[in-house]
Amino acid sequence: MAKVKITETVLRDGHQSLIATRMKTDEMLPILEVMDSVGYNALEMWGGATYDACLRFLDEDPWERLRAIRERVKKTKLQMLLRGQNLLGYKHYADDVVDKFVERAIANGIDIIRIFDALNDTRNLQRAIEATKRFGGHAQGTISYTRSPVHTNEVFISLAKEIEQMGADSLCIKDMAGLLDPYNTYELVKRLKSEISIPIELHTHATSGFGSMTYMKAVEAGVDIIDTAISPFAEGTSQPPTEPLVAAFQGTEYDTGLDLNLLNQIAEHFRPIREKYIASGLMDPKLMGVDIKTLMYQVPGGMLSNLVSQLKQSNAMDKFEEVLKEVPRVREDLGYPPLVTPTSQIVGTQAVMNVVMGERYKMVPNEVRMLVKGMYGKTTLPIKEEIVKKIIGEEEQITCRPADLIEPELEAVKRDCARYMEQEEDVLTKAMFPKPAEDFFKKREVQQYKIDSNLLNEEDMVYPV
C-alpha cells in the first residue's frame, strides 16, 4: 500500500467555504515558502470562486495572484478547480475561450486542473480535458457526487470509466455537500480501484460530520490522495483538518510523511487571519458546526447561505424550513441534478420562488428555463414532460452538446476590451465576467495613473514656456 498523499485547500476551498473567498493574496504570500517545503501532493489555490471574488470584492487581478504564488512555490504542484465548459463563470463558453483559458492558466503556473460538470455530463468535460493535456497540464476528471434514487455506485463507476477513456490523468470524487458516509466510501473506492487504473483523489466537506471518518475509510480502501485544509480554515463547511489526519496515519502503512512541526507553523500563520475574519463577521460561527440538514436535504453549505440571503431579501425567513423541504422536490422535478455551482443556485432560487410566491413555478428564472431546455447539458434522468411543458411550453429541448451551438467568441471579446488590455489574460476575464471585468479594468487604470503620477518628481515635470 502506497502512502496517502495530501492536497492542501486553505488557499482556495478552505477560505471559499468559510469566508466567502475573501482571503487576500497578501495574506497568503508570507507562508508560501514553508508550505512549499512540506511535501504536499499539491496546493489547491486557484479557480472555483477565487477568480470572481478577486475582481468583484478584492480589487485584485486573479492572474497576478497565480503568478505571485507560482514565483514562491517552486517544488509543489499548483492545482485549480474548473467548471468544465463553464470555466470559472456561470454559463457555457465557446471552445476557443476554453482552449485559451486552459493554455494561459498552464502558462502562468497551474500544474493540475480539476475539471467537473454540475450535471456530470461528460460532453462538458471533454474540451477542457483535451486542452489541458495538449498544453502540458495534468487533467483531473471529476465525478460530482450526490445522492438520489438514481445515483448509485454503479452510475459513478460507469462515469469514472468514461472519464478515464476520455484521457484524464486522474479521477476526483468531488463530494461538495459532505454526503459520502464512511462505509459507502469504502465500497465505492474499492470498486473504483478495481475498475480504473488512474489515481483517485477524494474531496469532501465536513458539513455533515462525516468528513474525517470518510477519509479514514477511503484511505483503507486504497484512495491515493485526500483533500484537507490546515486547521484554522478547516471543519464546518470546509474540508477536514490536515494535522489530525497526518497524525492519525503516522507510523502506519498509510503514513503521509508530512512534518507536523511544519504544519503547525502554517497553522500559526493562518490562525490570526481566521480571528480577523471572525471579528469582521465574515466567518460565521454557525458555519463551523455540524449541519445535519445537509444529509436530510442534500444542501451544500454555500447553498444554505444563499437561501438565507434570498429569504432575507424577501422578508421571508419564517419560510426557511419550507424552502429546505422544497429543494428536494424541485431537484426531482429537474431530473436530479447534483447540487453544485451553478445547479445549486438554480435549484435553490426556484425553491425560494415556489415557496415565496405560494405557487410552484408561477415565476421561473431564466437559468431554470435554460436547464430545462438542455442548455447546461443532459440531466441524470430526463425531466418529466409535464414539468418541461410548464416551464418552456412548446419550445424544443436541445440534445447536442450545448457548446456546439456557441460560435467562436474570442476575437469579438478581444475587440470589445482592446481599450483596457494590458495583458493577454484580460480577454479571458472580460469573456467570463463582462461587467465586473470592465469595472476592474477602470479601477486598475486609475490606480496605474496614481502610481505613475507619484513616480514623477519636480525635475521630471515639463512646463509650457
pLDDT in tens, 435-460: 999 999 999 988 876 655 555 454 44
Contact status, residue 410 vs residue 97, Cβ threshold 8 Å: yes
**What is the C-alpha to C-alpha distance for residues 341 and 356, in angstroms, rounded to an integer?**
23
- For the chain, list residues with pLDDT below 70: 1, 286, 301-302, 305, 449-465
Confidence (pLDDT) at 268? 98
End-to-end distance of the chain based on CA atoms, in angstroms?
82
Q: Is 6 helix (H, G, I), strand (E, B) or coil?
A: strand
Between CA 410 and CA 418, with CA 414 as vertex, the angle to 5 degrees is 175
Give whole-number Cα distances, 458 to 215, 451, 455, 461, 464, in Å. 64, 15, 10, 5, 14
Confidence (pLDDT) at 458? 44
356 CA to centre of own chain: 29
Confidence (pLDDT) at 292? 81
Q: Which pTM was predicted?
A: 0.93
**What is the C-alpha to C-alpha distance for residues 211 and 178, in angstroms, rounded to an integer?**
7
Confidence (pLDDT) at 305? 67
Contact status, residue 25 vs residue 66, Cβ threshold 8 Å: no
- Greatest CA separation found in the chain? 84
Pairing of strands 138-144, 200-204: unpaired
